[in-house]
Amino acid sequence: MYRRTMTGLIFTFLFLVSCPALAQDAPPEAKEQAPVTMDAVTVTATKREGTVKDFPGNISVMDDVFIETHGTDELADLTRFAPNVYIKHTSSGGSIVCRGISTIDTSLFSPMGLYMNDVALPIGYMVNQDLFDIERVEILRGPQATLYGRNSESGVINIVLKEPDNTQRTRLMTELGNYSTVRMGGSTSGPLVEDKLFYSLSLLGKTTNGYVENTFRDDDDVAGEESIFGRGTLRWTPSKAWDIAVDLDGKNNNHGMSVLRYEDGPNATPRHEVRANEADRAHEKAFGQSARIKYAWPTMELTSITSHRSFDRDHLHDFDRTPIPLGTSEMDTELDSWGQEFRLASTDTTALSWLVGLYGRHETVDAGIDFNHINPLMASKRKGDSTDNGYAGFGQATYEMIEGLRLTGGLRLDVSRNSGKHTYTPNSGPVSYEKDIDNTEWLPMASLAYDFTPNVTAYTTVSRGFLAGGFNFFSATSADTFAYDPEHSMNYEAGIKTTWLDNTLTFNTTIFYTELSDKQVREEVPGAGMGVWKFTNAADAHTQGIEVEAAYNPIPELQFRAGFGYADAEVDKWDTTVGGTPVDYSGNKLPWAPEYTYTLSAEYNHQSGFFILADLLGTGEQYFDAANTIKDDGYQTVNLRVGYQVKDIEIALWCDNLLDEEYANKKVKNGAGLTLVEDGAPRTFGLTANWRF
């Protein structure tokens, strides 16, 4: 009751602050101003410049102003404003869950694609990107196989960087927060040779003790972080037809991982406290290079994107999470990925717009895990590698049959050749095996959209997607438990996009139904002992639901935003064994899939420079296991931001999770049946200063 009351008071306060602006008589010059309108947002998600209305599907767009105003420093913070999109960011890995389509807990790859300036970020550890010096983020729901080089089963998040041009821009940022948190960043961009050669540079650093304490070791920074990230772009436009850009980026991150605590049993601890004899840690290094070359004719444009990304993560943790020195697990994962994409797209405004593309990749993964135990009979090692060569041809075209009625069709041919090797070394000696996963997929899509009026557009879309198969590097013991095949999805959706009240109000709604076949799941290996799992394609499932987004800008100083997503993700068929006993999971909810998400925001900007912003963000019930015995009941957090801007300087005081809501990012049971919890963030607060010149 207290939390609901406080939430109501915050939004009531924002409303009262805005009342004087709503009620007072406007000065004569103000009465003659044009009414407030929300401009159409330009997006490049379709690889052809357009608006949200033009996209034949559900898309959310957050620009740089939204990102900075709401203080969304990382992608996981931003996606909370997108209905039915949830980033699972835990110590065991990351994944983007869209419309309830989740994946295996320790899978390296996510069912939702993530791109940074047209370059795929394929591995799950990369999902929680820093959002500094970003132009906008576009979130597309549903399969996008006919638009993007790399395949995506449930949707795409497209991060668009700021493009350097003739305008000189410089920004310095400093942020101080509780738990000894400091973030500092700077960016600059502009011309080296006017109209010809441009540059951009950005640098971001962070250090924090984190909010978890190891009471056994008397250590308050076991979940701390020290990271530094940098990016640079050099852009050359020798003529109107040519646009050439080279991007470099890199990140070095050291952070603690001692976040799992016991909820029950003799080692149970309170929230944000752990008792382990080891200080868990992880180290990540990422490096990326890309070259984008565009050549434009009067009616079409050719784009070439050459990219390389490397990623290396090693971590160590106390596998029993107790003060007893039983042992540790050490994991190492290395990714090296090369990609080449050619894309030809129309640029004129005729009734037919189209895109065709070719894509190829060469990707290697080296991964392994060592279980170190005081009892040598229980120690083991696993080490594996894989080489993936993938090729795809894709295309999409939209034809306006009559004014306002548009038919879109697309097709993708996806071919992959993935070979893996693995060695399992128990105390009895090493066992080695190999496996190949060769796969060819045809992925069609079709959409019909109609503009009933300039302010009302309805659409319906059918599309097919798949999530590639892979290898079980971390728990396999034989060839039979090493590899698993692709899963497939069939997506149906219909929606309506509207604007009202002289474009001061937008209201968009989508309903969807997705069938999932050959669902990738984790199952026990009968008689193999604790910690030995196989990944299979044993399940069928479906997800269905609705997404609603609205924004209202009644006066220039005041804006409201709201969003709601509901996803009922359910197993249709899955027969397996637990402890050697047959079980039927049919009717259970898919794990790692929140039932709903919602957001409500109010923002007021006074002409004097004062501003205040409040966000209410909610996440519904979700299960963490296939048996649906471990769950989080759902939670809501309130974020508040108050500040002042004068000329080029902005200072803001902020508080996230104002009411200190308790929730879990992860829950898991150990071999003894005891529950371990990874707590969500507590109340955090601080001050941010931005200087632009």
- Statement: residue 22 has pLDDT above 60: no
Closest to 127 measured CA to CA, from 147, 99, 98, 161: 98
Question: How does pLDDT run across 387-430, given as a tens digit for each residue?
Answer: 999 999 999 999 999 999 999 999 999 999 999 999 999 999 99
Q: pTM of the full predicted structure?
A: 0.91
Residue 2 gets which letter from DSSP?
A: H
CA–CA dist 328, 374 (Å, integer): 9
DSSP H/E element including 517? strand 505-524
33 versus 441: the higher-pLDDT residue is 441
Contacts of 270 (CB under 8 A, 6+ apart): none
- Statement: residue 6 has pLDDT above 80: no
User: CATH number, domain at 622?
Assistant: 2.40.170.20
Contacts of 264 (CB under 8 A, 6+ apart): 674, 675
Q: What percent of the chain is modeled with pLDDT above 90? A: 82
CA–CA dist 377, 24 (Å, integer): 80
CA–CA dist 367, 331 (Å, integer): 8
- The total number of structural domains that make up the chain: 1
Contacts of 484 (CB under 8 A, 6+ apart): 469, 470, 471, 472, 520, 534, 535, 536, 537
**Tokens linked to 576:** 């397996």
Question: How does pLDDT run across 171-182, given as a tens digit for each residue?
Answer: 999 999 999 999
* Whether 636 contacts 604, CB under 8 Å: no
Q: Is 11 helix (H, G, I), strand (E, B) or coil?
A: helix
Question: How does pLDDT run across 654-665, given as a tens digit for each residue?
Answer: 999 999 999 999
* Whether 10 contacts 614, CB under 8 Å: yes
> For position 580, what pLDDT does the model report?
82
> For position 330, what pLDDT does the model report?
94
List, in sequence order, every beta strand (DSSP E) within 403-500. 405-425, 431-453, 456-467, 470-471, 483-484, 487-500
> For position 510, what pLDDT does the model report?
97
CA–CA dist 80, 57 (Å, integer): 20
Strands 273-274 and 684-692: unpaired
Phi, psi torsion values for 272, nearest 5 degrees: 65, 25
> For position 283, what pLDDT does the model report?
95
- The tally of CA atoms less than 13 A away on the side-chain side of residue 73 is 13
DSSP H/E element including 75? helix 75-78
Average pLDDT over residues 483-489: 95
Beta partners for 547? 510, 565
What's the Rg (C-alpha) of the chain? 25
Helices (H), 615-665: none
Average pLDDT over residues 350-355: 93
* Whether 279 contacts 255, CB under 8 Å: no
Residue 60 burial (10 A CB sphere; 0-12, 13-18, 19+): buried
> For position 52, what pLDDT does the model report?
78
CA–CA dist 497, 52 (Å, integer): 9
Average pLDDT over residues 61-65: 94
Could you tell me the pLDDT band of residue 50, with boundaries at 50, 70 and 90? Answer: confident
* Whether 255 contacts 206, CB under 8 Å: no
* Secondary structure of 340-394 as H, E, C letters: EEEEEEECCCCCEEEEEEEEEEEEEEEEEEEEEECCHHHCEEEEEEEEEEEEEEE
Could you tell me the pLDDT band of residue 5, with boundaries at 50, 70 and 90? Answer: very low
Output the furthest CA–CA distance in the chain (Å, rounded): 89
Domain, as residue range, for 386: 2-692
Question: How does pLDDT run across 521-552, given as a tens digit for each residue?
Answer: 999 887 666 657 899 999 999 999 999 999 99
Helices (H), 440-488: none
Sign of the four-CA dihedral 99, 102, 108, 109: negative
Could you tell me the pLDDT band of residue 76, with boundaries at 50, 70 and 90? Answer: very high
Instruction: Give the lowest-confidence range in 151-160, 452-461, 524-533.
Output: 524-533
Q: Is 77 helix (H, G, I), strand (E, B) or coil?
A: helix
* Whether 71 contacts 330, CB under 8 Å: no
> For position 42, what pLDDT does the model report?
65
> For position 528, what pLDDT does the model report?
66
- Statement: residue 10 has pLDDT above 60: no
Residue 360 burial (10 A CB sphere; 0-12, 13-18, 19+): middle
> For position 38, what pLDDT does the model report?
53
Could you tell me the pLDDT band of residue 467, with boundaries at 50, 70 and 90? Answer: very high
Average pLDDT of the chain, as a whole number = 91
Average pLDDT over residues 224-243: 97
**Tokens linked to 26:** 């406007």
> For position 613, what pLDDT does the model report?
97
Could you tell me the pLDDT band of residue 55, with boundaries at 50, 70 and 90? Answer: confident
- Statement: residue 51 has pLDDT above 90: no
> For position 91, what pLDDT does the model report?
80
DSSP H/E element including 191? strand 181-193
Question: How does pLDDT run across 257-287, given as a tens digit for each residue?
Answer: 889 999 999 999 999 999 999 888 999 999 9
Question: What Cα–Cα distance (Å) separates residue 585 from each residue in 517, 518, 555, 578, 674?
Answer: 15, 15, 52, 11, 22
CA–CA dist 400, 407 (Å, integer): 6
CA–CA dist 419, 364 (Å, integer): 10
- Statement: residue 2 has pLDDT above 80: no
CA–CA dist 350, 189 (Å, integer): 35
Question: How does pLDDT run across 293-315, given as a tens digit for each residue?
Answer: 999 999 999 999 999 999 999 99
Average pLDDT over residues 219-233: 95
